[in-house]
């Protein structure tokens, strides 16, 4: 009897209920919608159903080969549907009890969850549903949602909407003194977003050569960057102003901003920033034909690039130094810089630039030899005469190899590199 009872119990435990069977028979969309309706979360059901319908419409009007058309339908993505179900249930429960900040918290979490490019439309939906609420719309999570919307609109290139949301975020953050989810002041986050937005707004007038309008926007961005207490943003704002003044032909003002930028990048120990700032400063100084300052600036740029392993920047600085000394007819010094740049470019395997530097090096070395030979011809001492005799006796036996142009090397460079 006991064995028979155990057998019956084992068989009954293997029988699935209707709800368990439906999990296998029905789609993800149907299971989640049915569960929400059965548990009484009608508003959550309506919202998810509406979003699923919007996804179908988006895919229907998109081009066949577009990114939207190639995405997996939202109704087939279990993790996203389950995340929406979970947090919308919690939001509806909080709404039923009048806990408006808790409602915004749950919707903020959903906005932050949908951060990938293909999901930005969902992120915007939940951010808006958090920030645009009549109850709770000025709470901490609603204010942070505006910062999230500013970031998304900036990413999508909708700059005026991004600016509007960042300004609203800044206003609400200053009123409430809010911190974001990571414990950082929301006011500073809004200021950094505004700085990026003004930088993007300046791109259109710059492309149209409207320097006055671009400078107006960049100055506004610079002022915001200073308020943001972020030295990296402030240094980048100075750099952009310096470049714009340079393009406008005001090299004196450009130098002022670039020098300020260099000081900040130096404090931040940002080698890349220092390299590009010195490169821009060189252009402003060169326009004044101030050779000494240009050389000093290039030497500093080369030192920074050399010590931080910035090989492309180092090659640029060395070539510029070589060209300046070449124009000054100091061919020996020019050859030294061209040779060092040649060695750097060999490591970078930049063939086109390597060929150019090879020609520059050969020209500088040839001029150096000609200058030395001419000086010996005009000299009256015995050492000069001996050098002329040696040169005359050996010139016919010297091959055309590259070793005669590369002081300090024992063999010609591999011709396959060129």
Assigned domain for 398 exists: no
Token couple for 196: 């990026």
What 3-state class would DSSP assign to 185? strand
pLDDT digits (tens, 9 = 90+) for 195-229: 999 999 999 999 999 999 999 999 999 999 999 98
pLDDT surpassing 60 at residue 404 = no
pLDDT digits (tens, 9 = 90+) for 48-98: 999 999 999 999 998 888 888 888 999 999 999 999 999 999 999 999 999
Token couple for 50: 């509406």
Assigned domain for 172 exists: no
pLDDT surpassing 60 at residue 10 = no
- How far CA 114 is from CA of 10, 72, 372, in Å, comes to 45, 15, 71
pLDDT surpassing 80 at residue 101 = yes
Give the side-chain half-sphere CA count within 13 A for 170.
18
pLDDT surpassing 70 at residue 346 = yes
Of the candidate ranges 11-20, 70-79, 155-164, 378-387, the one whose mean pLDDT is the lowest: 11-20
Assigned domain for 88 exists: yes
- Number of neighbours of residue 394 by Cβ within 10 angstroms: 9
Give the side-chain half-sphere CA count within 13 A for 130.
34
pLDDT digits (tens, 9 = 90+) for 291-313: 777 788 788 888 888 887 888 88
Backbone angles phi, psi at 287, to 5 degrees: -65, -20
Assigned domain for 316 exists: yes
Query: Nearest to residue 73, comparing CAs of 85, 55, 49, 48?
Result: 55
For the chain, what is the domain count? 2
CA distance 201 to 385: 70
Tokens 């150096």 -> residue: 368
Torsion-angle region of residue 398: left (phi > 0), alpha (psi -120 to 50) or beta? beta
The secondary structure of residue 179, as a DSSP letter, is B
Backbone angles phi, psi at 22, to 5 degrees: -65, -30
With bands split at pLDDT 50, 70 and 90, how would you rate the model's confidence at 417?
Answer: very low
Residues in the chain: 418
Task: For the chain, report the end-to-end CA distance as a whole number of angstroms.
Answer: 94
**Predicted local confidence at residue 14, as pLDDT:** 57
Assigned domain for 211 exists: no
With bands split at pLDDT 50, 70 and 90, how would you rate the model's confidence at 31?
Answer: confident
CA distance 154 to 203: 13
- DSSP per position, 281-322: HHHHHHTTT-HHHHHHHHHHHHHHHHHHT-HHHHHHHHHHHH
Give the side-chain half-sphere CA count within 13 A for 281.
27
Please report, for the domain that includes residue 351, its CATH number. Answer: 1.20.58
| Mean predicted lDDT score pLDDT of the chain | 83
Assigned domain for 145 exists: no
* R_g of the chain, CA atoms, integer Å: 34
* 42-61 helix and 78-96 helix, angle to the nearest 10 degrees: 140
Q: Where are the alpha helices (DSSP H) in 118-247?
A: 120-131, 140-156, 159-176, 186-201, 203-207, 211-227, 231-247
Assigned domain for 90 exists: yes
CA distance 61 to 79: 25
Residue 88: give the domain boundaries.
18-56+74-97
**Predicted local confidence at residue 9, as pLDDT:** 46
Token couple for 131: 């920030």
- pLDDT, average across residues 334-360: 85
This prediction's pTM = 0.75
Of the candidate ranges 174-178, 213-217, 326-330, the one whose mean pLDDT is the lowest: 326-330
Assigned domain for 114 exists: no
With bands split at pLDDT 50, 70 and 90, how would you rate the model's confidence at 373?
Answer: low
CA distance 229 to 137: 27
């Amino acid at each position: 009897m006991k064995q028979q009872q155990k057998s019956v119990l084992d068989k009954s435990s293997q029988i699935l209920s209707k709800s368990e069977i439906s999990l296998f028979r029905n789609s993800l969309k149907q299971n989640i919608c049915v569960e929400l309706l059965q548990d009484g979360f009608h508003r959550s059901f309506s919202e998810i159903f509406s979003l699923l319908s919007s996804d179908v419409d988006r895919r229907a009007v998109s081009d066949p080969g577009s990114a939207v058309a190639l995405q997996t339908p939202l109704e087939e993505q279990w993790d996203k549907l389950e995340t929406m179900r979970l947090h919308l249930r919690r939001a509806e429960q909080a709404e039923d009890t009048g806990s408006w900040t808790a409602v915004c918290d749950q919707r903020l979490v959903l906005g932050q969850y949908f951060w990938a490019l293909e999901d930005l439309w969902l992120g915007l939906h939940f951010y808006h549903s958090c920030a645009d609420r009549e109850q709770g719309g000025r709470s901490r999570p609603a204010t942070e949602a505006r910062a999230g919307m500013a970031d998304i609109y900036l990413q999508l290139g909708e700059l005026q909407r991004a600016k509007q949301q960042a300004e609203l975020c800044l206003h609400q953050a200053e009123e409430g003194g809010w911190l974001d989810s990571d414990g950082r002041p929301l006011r500073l986050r809004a200021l950094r977003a505004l700085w990026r937005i003004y930088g993007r707004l300046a791109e259109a007038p710059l492309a149209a050569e409207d320097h006055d309008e671009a400078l107006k926007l960049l100055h506004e961005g610079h002022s915001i960057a200073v308020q943001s207490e972020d030295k990296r943003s402030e240094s980048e704002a100075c750099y952009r102003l310096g470049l714009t003044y340079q393009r406008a032909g005001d090299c004196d003002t450009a130098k002022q901003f670039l020098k300020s930028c260099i000081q900040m990048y130096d404090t931040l120990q940002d080698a890349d920033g220092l390299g590009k700032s010195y490169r821009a400063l060189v252009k402003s100084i060169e326009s004044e034909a101030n050779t000494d300052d240009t050389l000093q600036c290039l030497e500093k740029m080369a030192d920074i690039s050399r010590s931080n392993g910035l090989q492309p920047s180092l090659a640029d600085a060395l070539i510029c130094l070589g060209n300046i000394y070449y124009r000054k007819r100091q061919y020996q010094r020019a050859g030294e810089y061209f040779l060092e740049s040649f060695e750097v470019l060999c490591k970078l395997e930049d063939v086109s630039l390597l060929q150019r530097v090879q020609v520059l090096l050969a020209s500088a070395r040839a001029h150096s030899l000609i200058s030395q030979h001419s000086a010996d011809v005009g000299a009256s001492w015995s050492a000069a005469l001996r050098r002329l005799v040696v040169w005359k006796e050996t010139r016919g036996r010297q091959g055309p190899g590259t070793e005669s142009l590369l002081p300090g090397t024992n063999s010609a460079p591999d011709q396959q590199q060129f």
